């Protein structure tokens, strides 16, 4: 089956893109709370799948709980530091 390119070119209609087609023109619909929930859901989803194997490697629920608690404290501290860094950068961009 051969196509007649000249006939196809005549039937092509140029449509201008809508103003919402560019990612740069989309409004920011992501709030900090919703973004945080997305990150937590992503990490918790994969973490829960690996938890049974992790628990068996450590030898039981008590060492697993201790490591997860320490990990939570470290991640919470890192999250607070990242939040402060983001606020400083945002304030610098406003000025």
Give the pLDDT confidence score for residue 24 in this predicted structure. Answer: 56
pLDDT tens string 62-81: 999 999 899 999 999 999 99
The model's pTM: 0.48
Cα distance between residue 31 and residue 15, in whole Å? 33
Give the pLDDT confidence score for residue 80 in this predicted structure. Answer: 94
- With beta carbons less than 8 A apart as the criterion, state whether 48 and 41 touch: no
**Phi/psi of residue 51, nearest 5 degrees:** -60, -45
pLDDT tens string 3-48: 555 455 555 554 445 555 555 555 666 778 888 888 888 878 887 8
Give the pLDDT confidence score for residue 76 in this predicted structure. Answer: 94
């Amino acid at each position: 089956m051969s196509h007649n390119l000249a006939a196809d070119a005549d039937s092509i209609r140029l449509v201008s893109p809508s103003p919402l087609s560019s990612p740069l023109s989309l409004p920011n619909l992501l709030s900090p709370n919703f973004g945080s929930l997305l990150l937590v859901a992503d990490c918790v989803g994969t973490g829960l799948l690996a938890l049974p194997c992790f628990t068996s490697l450590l030898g039981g629920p008590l060492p697993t709980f201790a490591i997860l608690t320490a990990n939570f404290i470290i991640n919470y501290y890192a999250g607070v530091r990242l939040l402060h860094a983001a606020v400083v950068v945002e304030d610098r961009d406003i000025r």
